[in-house]
Amino acid sequence: MSLPDLAYPGLPLGPSSSYIPGPGTHLHLESSTIHASIAGRPTFTPPTAKGSKPTLSIPRLLPSPTHAPIPSSNVSNTNTLPTVGSVVLCRVTRVKSKQVDVVILVVYGAEGKFGRGGEGSVCADEWQAVIRKEDIRATEKEKVVTAEGFRVGDVVRGVVISLGDQSNYYLTTGRNELGVIMAKSEAGNKMYPISWKEFKDPVTGETERRKVAKPF
């Protein structure tokens, strides 16, 4: 099968019957499908031995505290600016009672054709943004508890609804296809969604509440 030009965390890349998961990917146990763990351009390494399978991997594109950034055509030279209506992927950095702080990692066009051939730009810098309590869900907003929708480290799909102030963009996850697309459990294991409000740890069997994004 052909690989997408740009993958986002959680995107299915191929069956484990055809590939071996490499750096930047992980195996979804329930579906036996290899998914992207980070944003970037997927590649595969041909098998080195007869009868073995090629390895799927995604090179890390963004700088981290302990690694120098790796140049890539996926990273914008001028840094991509989110605009109102842009679909974005972001990482949760702090959960407060009235808002969730995130950093934007990938910006897509307003049509939001992510994962279906649409092109996204990995940000050279991380843009600060917030998801206010009233923008988490479209209904029963008064019942929303931010800590039951997000945890630090979650990867979230959202839409920019306002350029906000000088410090933050404002995002919404108030649609079915928006919300957490990748999360780790308190035990540190990658989880998979089992409903619109829960992820499950395949190792411990424990479930955790999230504002889950509807899969494609």
* Domain count for the chain: 2
Q: What is the pLDDT of residues 148-195, one digit of tens each?
A: 999 999 999 999 999 877 678 999 999 999 999 999 999 989 899 999
Q: Residue by residue, what is the 3-state secondary structure of 120-189?
A: EEEEEEEEEEEEEHHHCCCCCHHHCCHHHCCCCCCEEEEEEEECCCCCCEEEECCCCCCEEEECECCCCC
Q: Which domain holds residue 63?
A: 1-67
Is residue 143 over pLDDT 60?
yes
- Domain finish residue from 67, 85, 105: 67
Q: What is the pLDDT of residues 42-55, one digit of tens each?
A: 888 888 777 788 88
Note the Cα 189 to chain centre separation in Å.
16
DSSP code, position 214: P
Cβ(130)–Cβ(60) under 8 Å?
Answer: no
Q: Are residues 91 and 55 in the same domain?
A: no
| Closest by Cα among 55, 88, 53 to 163 | 88
Q: Are residues 155 and 214 in the same domain?
A: yes
Going by C-beta distance under 8 Å and a sequence separation of 6 or more, which residues neighbour residue 177?
Answer: 157, 213, 214, 216
- Domain finish residue from 67, 91, 123: 67
CATH of the domain at 181: 2.40.50.140
Q: What is the pTM of this model?
A: 0.65
